[in-house]
Structure 1
């Protein structure tokens, strides 16, 4: 039901865009527009999608709904996980709808393509749902920020913390595309640096539903850990089948290199119990996170936010605060102000935005609860380690961002 509605909204948006005349200069009464560009109908929709749009609108409402004397409007669209579609929507938003900032961007290829466009159009991009660390590496932009997680931090926190706990031999099951490769390679490097070993790798076409052969190879490798370098429904299917084929019963630890509460809910705690993964936020951490999550759930199908959705609120609110403090929509001026202002909200304390666009914030190692531990429908995980942002994210001088003076 959610996905079909998103498709319909996306079609309506295209129709609206086709009749609005091109106009790069806003009139004094024209709304200040923020665009949420995400997977609204595919396998990542539950963890980002309309929840990101809901979060952005919450931030606008909490800010007061107006900026520089003008109303603020949040629009959204579905990039269908296609780079060309995402790029076309972004260009249309900048050229025809005078969108000032785009957020969400839950697909690494789309995020990279749009970051190039936002740089050329001198508009701001705040990636909250895309993962590639390349956004703050060689492809960094003076107008781009990377707000929630990235592939480097997932690898660093998950790999090093797992090995520290004795999980020192790994077998990877990897989605055979750039994002999966980055997760696998970065984690393998961290595991080896921490004194662990890699027993083998199986790569599969993204969107597969049958993991039997890969799990049997992992089982025969006798590795202590099965590292799942994938996400969304692929990760859910792999976890379910690892239980069916006896990998978990045989003593192998499942480690998801990218997981969200929506994935745990879909797979069920009977399958995910003991699963280790890294997150930027968990709804049940503090009184602040619980209060925000209660508000969000009331607006979004009675479910708490994922880290991506919480991060979209955080990024949008920080952008609005920076524009208000700068007194202008000029991208360069607003970016300077975003770097000056610390990030303090329910999910991030004393965060800071680096020159390469990376938000430095704490990351958390989580473990899925057993059915017996859970006290409610969304009581799915517990925080077992906190890693300071300076330790979690790639050092700025190692990313090869051309904006950074070496």
Structure 2
């Protein structure tokens, strides 16, 4: 089991930057381990997904912790954060240790869909809550659902349906998929396949790549040779960034094919640049500049991290804040009572708009069809997206009547 690394809040960000050799070590803030109320994050601290989640999720959770005064039920809140290295055995071992030895009360995020599904089963066995922001598979609230897992951010269903309908409506009706070969990619491919066909389009082919691949040339060439009007990328993190860059190098868009990233984040746009990403439309759960409430949180985040938050990081802030507020309001950390409170309450904060929890564990909320700005439209660094339309909560996510979850009634 990885040795723990202890740090103060003041040193937290600096320590994260300096600990490449300790990527499997949890970073613990606040003291008095057996007197604290513990929450945890399992994520990617230094790898290809660290920009969209990673250390920034710890910063986001810390902002929420400070917002509620740093304590609940008379106990200081302690945040555990560790790198699972995208290995299920590492992630589940850490999760089990935190529950059994550290008395962890809740996970406020678990990155990587495959690991998240494993953790969801674990929290069901141990009767602890888990909130998911970086894991996109809709299985968390479908066939892998239980009374303890809550999917806070968007998922593969929400990401695919609106994009497919919009683009096929423009005549872009033949699709080729480049997808990551793990749980998220598989779920996204299945959702996109269904969405494309439902909207009247056709899928002409697909190829899967290993996680954290560097050379995407063979996959891009297969997509290019297919003649599909749309090449859809379902990878995430740096895999999305590298695929888009290499597609541009091979002149994909110059030959008339459209490249669509099914799960891009602000960090991806920042890495690739507006010149390459301009005009890209996608579904985003949240954008830092969309209104005053979002900007206020983004400013607090930027003051600590010198970056604007992604939707994942904002979602972690929200789940942490709402969970801790519920614990304090109800005077208990009982998972059943907290879940029931969320089922009966409409939630709004810097991330959530009209948030309501469904019985299957899906937190529904408004999402947004956005377009990446042109370099001329941008007013400066991080000013990358414009909201084209709001997709209401009841339209964005799978209807409860269609859910495969046993808890849907």
Same fold (TM over 0.5): yes
More displaced 10-residue stretch of structure 1: 259-268 or 380-389? 380-389
More displaced 10-residue stretch of structure 1: 1-10 or 178-187? 1-10
1:307 aligns with 2:321: no
1: distance between equivalents of 2:169 and 2:326?
A: 40
2: distance between equivalents of 1:218 and 1:350?
A: 39
1: distance between equivalents of 2:260 and 2:46?
A: 27
Partner of 1:33: 38
Partner of 1:360: 364
How far is 1:320 from its partner? 1.3
Specify whether residues 171 and 351 from structure 1 end up closer, same or farther in structure 2 by C-alpha distance, changes over 3 A only: same
The one of 284, 287, 297 aligned to 1:282 = 287
SS of residue paired to 1:11: coil
How far is 1:165 from its partner? 3.5
Contact 2:26–2:81 (Cα < 8 Å) also in 1 = no
1: distance between equivalents of 2:349 and 2:21?
A: 32
2: distance between equivalents of 1:102 and 1:216?
A: 41
2: distance between equivalents of 1:246 and 1:13?
A: 43
1:322 aligns with 2:336: no
1:194 aligns with 2:196: no
The one of 209, 214, 217 aligned to 1:212 = 217
Contact 2:178–2:209 (Cα < 8 Å) also in 1 = yes
Contact 1:228–1:235 (Cα < 8 Å) also in 2 = yes
Partner of 1:61: 66
Misfit runs of 4+, over 4 Å: 1-4
1:374 aligns with 2:407: no
SS of residue paired to 2:57: helix
Specify whether residues 11 and 204 from structure 1 end up closer, same or farther in structure 2 by C-alpha distance, changes over 3 A only: closer
1: distance between equivalents of 2:112 and 2:236?
A: 11
The one of 7, 10, 19 aligned to 1:5 = 19
1:391 aligns with 2:402: no
How far is 1:5 from its partner? 2.5
Partner of 2:167: 162
2: distance between equivalents of 1:347 and 1:200?
A: 36
How far is 1:10 from its partner? 4.8
Contact 2:23–2:45 (Cα < 8 Å) also in 1 = no
Structure 2: segments with no counterpart, 5+ residues: 1-13
1: distance between equivalents of 2:120 and 2:194?
A: 28
2: distance between equivalents of 1:58 and 1:248?
A: 41
1:244 aligns with 2:283: no
Contact 1:254–1:274 (Cα < 8 Å) also in 2 = no
Specify whether residues 179 and 69 from structure 1 end up closer, same or farther in structure 2 by C-alpha distance, changes over 3 A only: same
Partner of 1:336: 340
Contact 1:6–1:50 (Cα < 8 Å) also in 2 = no
Contact 1:224–1:253 (Cα < 8 Å) also in 2 = yes
TM-score (norm. length: structure 1): 0.91
Partner of 1:121: 126
How far is 1:381 from its partner? 1.9
Specify whether residues 221 and 52 from structure 1 end up closer, same or farther in structure 2 by C-alpha distance, changes over 3 A only: same
Per-residue deviation, residues 318-348 of structure 1 (Å, max 9, x unmatched): 1112112221111111211122222111222
How far is 1:353 from its partner? 0.6
1:79 aligns with 2:93: no
TM-score (norm. length: structure 2): 0.91
How far is 1:114 from its partner? 1.0
Structure 1: segments with no counterpart, 5+ residues: 21-25
The one of 224, 232, 235 aligned to 1:230 = 235
Per-residue deviation, residues 183-202 of structure 1 (Å, max 9, x unmatched): 12211211111111222223
Per-residue deviation, residues 267-301 of structure 1 (Å, max 9, x unmatched): 1222212222221011111111111101101111x
1: distance between equivalents of 2:26 and 2:124?
A: 27
* Cα root mean square deviation, aligned: 2.2
More displaced 10-residue stretch of structure 1: 392-401 or 120-129? 392-401
1: distance between equivalents of 2:404 and 2:383?
A: 40
